Amino acid sequence: MAQRYDEHHVHVHESPWSMLGPLVILAVLSIIGGWLAAPSFWGGEDHFTAFLAPVFGASHAEGEAALSEAAAHSLELTLAVVAVVAALIGLLTAFWLYLKQPGKPAEIAKSLKPIYTTLYNKYYVDEAYGAAIVKPLLAISTNVLWKIIDVEAIDGTVNGIAHGATATGDVSRRTQSGNTRSYAVWVVVGALTILIIVFWPAIRALAGGAQ
Amino acid sequence: MMLPSLLTSLILIPAVGALALLVLRGDDHKFIKGLALGVSVFEFGFSLLLLRKMDFSASGYQLEENFHWISAPPINYHLGVDGLSVFLVILTTFLTAISVIASWNSIHERIKEFFVVLLMLEVGIVGVFLSLDLFLFFLFWEVMLIPMAFLIGIWGHGRKIYAAVKFVLYTMGGSILMLVGIVWLYNLTGSFDLPFVQQALQANPGLLGSATPGVVGTAELLLFLAFFVAFAIKVPLFPLHTWLPDAHVEAPTAGSVILAGVLLKMGTYGMMRFCLPLFPAASRKAAPYVAALAIIGIIYGALVALVQPNLKKLVAYSSVSHLGFVVLGIFTFGTIGMQGAIYQMLAHGISTGALFLLVGMLYDRRHTFEISEYGGLATPMPRLSAFFLFAALSSLGLPILNGFVGEYLILLGTYAANWKWAAWAASGVILSACYLLWAYQRVFFGEVTHAHNKELPDTSARERGILLAMAAVTLWMGVGSAYLTRRTATATETIRQQMVRPGDMAPQNAGSVATPVYPVRACETCSNASNSTKSTTTVLQVRSGSTANPVYPVRGCANPSDSACSSHLASISLERSGTR
């Protein structure tokens, strides 16, 4: 279906059939769904309950028995009437406001400004979530979890160990100067250290004997 | 040509392919790519043979190949496969073939070497999953590091050398601990053979420092830690994960796919194959701490992924989160949790592999990973956007796709073990939807934000081919999960069975709905097999003429509730202590 952009179609236009089709199917199905249980009002079978019976089993049947058949039906009927009436009122109001009196909604919006803006903004639920949860979560994740804990603390430790190894090597490589005389000194120092360690008991015994 | 045997061939085919590539002239790029593709596809097809040859109802290893290799110390070339490793092998061969195709046009230099390295990587990974000798396992574990380091260091982007060196050193730091553990185990049992070592430790818990059931010996705890840390680095478990984002971001697409798809699973595979069956008491003792780290990883990884400005880093951190689930599932020790862990390993390999492929395709077109450089891409490239959404939905665990099955099973199993863990972990599922869908919205929805993105070409036939393959597997795993879970069930039960020690209480069956069947080995002394499922048939070798104390593992009755058998066990252990 070719898209047409002549001036008659610039404003509100009918949806394409790719969207209308599914809507029609859903509408038909919802009518069928609504009338499934209806026969029980005039003594017929409640097809919906019968359909669900294998799922809910005995417990449901007990609950049903506790509520008398008549009371259950009058309650259901009341609810159905209330729902239908509410829907019709909404339908009529919309019809009156937007088709019969197109200027009216703007007037009402003006006179009831605070209520209108609150409703228009869906009671600010999204904004409340945004301020209370989303923003703090993003801020904490970015500034604490990622940049401080992950990059600085954890990865800093990992890289720190690597740097530590390099630094240790940097220091200890200075002992390997290639200078023969300094090596000779190290050999003497090492030999003395070993001698002292080996003869330490004897040295202590001598010192003890002298006292 | 006579093939030596199935498992050896699986290791040899890519090795021979790599060698063949190596001796060829490097200037005929088409031929090189074609050969690499042929080898990797053949290898994948060959690995599917495993499914035909294996009996998934039998416990223990199958298609075993055991050849004498080194006599002192006794190291064998011992391969085997079971329900846990078989699917990881197939995942490896599948993703390698996919990676070869994915690299078709995105590698421009040293093309021959690239495919040689890719095939060598496959050799190492398949070897890790098939090895049943501790030394051989360690060998392949290390062999795998080298090609991966080259992949990152040569064909990577940006700070590639830094990332490659960090990857190698970090992993090696862990594997040194494991090497110490392997040598220690050899000193205790006189063998490197995994089934033998496992049975020796199971029959003689006293070897690990404590013969009293429920008390963890120091040796066992240290050995557990040596293996566990090596595996935890690989997984990676928080807080050992920082090599991962670097390696992923700098690696070429094929490297990232293999890294996320299979390499990380080597860690979780090791936990299931070594930590639990060899050191069950230590595993149980460590479980609360491991679970805590896993849960921190799940939530922390998700939160950090949420705020990444770099798309590839986002997917990398999501792996930290998803692998946390796997570790959590393993350390519930329950059938369902462990089954879920195996499933999640495979599912993550596919879905994250697909995400990395897609991110790589974006990079091929724009040479950037910055999310802010994209926006509104669904207009110029509707097909790539559709595939991306599919991969993102599977990664965040949408029912009927593969991610859901694994995460659901893990959460179910965790709930049975400890409902608080499950509650915390479940928040990770919500967060994964947050970071993936938010990233998706910023990259693909809305108006095209950068003029030069308007002309980006949509997927080519080659790209569509690999993406379709990935999507098909994703969907199949999501709806046909029973195919896999049925085949991994025996392996899971075998691991649970291997955790039982003489004198233990009957194993807590956390997270199992149906009454489980424990394959119980027949007690050799009283031949009282209450449940004669196939007993493990490893021939127990006695090592003679060695300086270490020879150990004779006793095939005790693994059914502690059977009083006749427990008395046998008691008398056996008395005899043993008397002779020592």
Distance between CA atoms of B422 and B551, rounded to whole angstroms? 42
CB B511 within 8 A of CB B414: yes
Contact: B307, A141; criterion CB under 8 Å: yes
Distance between CA atoms of B132 and B153, rounded to whole angstroms? 31
Residue type, A185: V
Q: Based on DSSP, count helices (H) and strands (E) in chain B, helices before strands.
A: 22, 2
Query: Hunting for tokens 């190291």 — which residue is that?
Result: B75
Using a CB-CB cut-off of 8 Å, the residues of chain A touching B300 are: 145, 149
SS3 B68: strand
Q: What residue in A sits closest to B239 (Cα-Cα)?
A: A154
Q: What are the Cα distances from residue A17, in Å, to A3, A20, A21, A24?
A: 12, 5, 5, 10
Q: What residue in B sits closest to A154 (Cα-Cα)?
A: B239
pLDDT in tens, chain B (580 residues): 444 588 888 999 999 999 999 888 777 888 888 999 999 999 999 999 888 888 888 888 888 888 888 888 889 999 999 989 999 999 999 999 999 999 988 888 888 889 999 999 999 999 999 999 999 999 999 999 999 999 999 998 888 899 999 999 999 998 999 999 999 999 888 889 999 999 888 888 778 877 676 678 888 899 999 999 999 999 999 889 999 999 999 999 999 999 999 999 999 999 999 999 999 889 999 999 999 999 999 999 999 999 999 999 999 999 999 999 999 999 999 999 999 999 999 999 999 999 999 999 999 888 889 998 888 888 889 999 999 999 999 999 899 899 899 999 999 999 988 899 999 999 999 999 999 999 999 999 988 888 888 888 888 889 999 999 999 999 999 998 889 988 999 999 999 988 888 766 554 444 444 433 334 343 444 444 443 333 333 333 333 333 333 333 433 444 444 444 443 343 333 333 333 3
Using a CB-CB cut-off of 8 Å, the residues of chain A touching B308 are: 146
How many CB atoms are closer than 10 A to CB A161?
12
The phi, psi pair for B518, rounded to 5°, reads -95, 120
Contact: B303, A155; criterion CB under 8 Å: no
Q: How close A34 gets to chain B, by Cα (Å)? A: 29
- Nearest Cα neighbor of B194 from B203, B204, B182, B184 is B182
Q: What residue in A sits closest to B317 (Cα-Cα)?
A: A146
CB B516 within 8 A of CB B335: yes
B300 in contact with A at a CB cutoff of 8 Å? yes
Contact: A145, B243; criterion CB under 8 Å: no
Using a CB-CB cut-off of 8 Å, the residues of chain B touching A129 are: none
Q: Count of CB contacts below 8 A, A vs B?
A: 30
Element containing residue B77 per DSSP (H, E):
strand B75-81
Distance between CA atoms of B335 and B330, rounded to whole angstroms? 9
SS3 B70: strand
* Of the partner residues A137, A145, A154, the one whose CB lies closest to the CB of residue B242: A154
Radius of gyration of the CA atoms of chain B, in A: 24
Query: Hunting for tokens 């995400």 — which residue is that?
Result: B355
Residues listed for chain B: 580
CA atoms A8, A9, A10, A13: torsion sign = positive
* Of the partner residues A140, A145, A155, the one whose CB lies closest to the CB of residue B242: A155
Query: Hunting for tokens 């050398």 — which residue is that?
Result: B161
B435 in contact with A at a CB cutoff of 8 Å? no
The interface residues of chain A toward chain B in range 105-164, judged by CB-CB distance below 8 A, are 137-138, 140-142, 145-146, 149-150, 154-155, 158, 162
CA atoms A37, A43, A44, A45: torsion sign = positive
DSSP string, B188-218: HHS--BHHHHHHHHHH-GGGGT--STTPPPH
Q: What are the Cα distances from residue B195, in Å, to B192, B277, B306, B543?
A: 9, 10, 43, 15
What pTM, to 2 d.p., does this model score? 0.80
CB B203 within 8 A of CB B556: yes
How many CB atoms are closer than 10 A to CB A18?
8
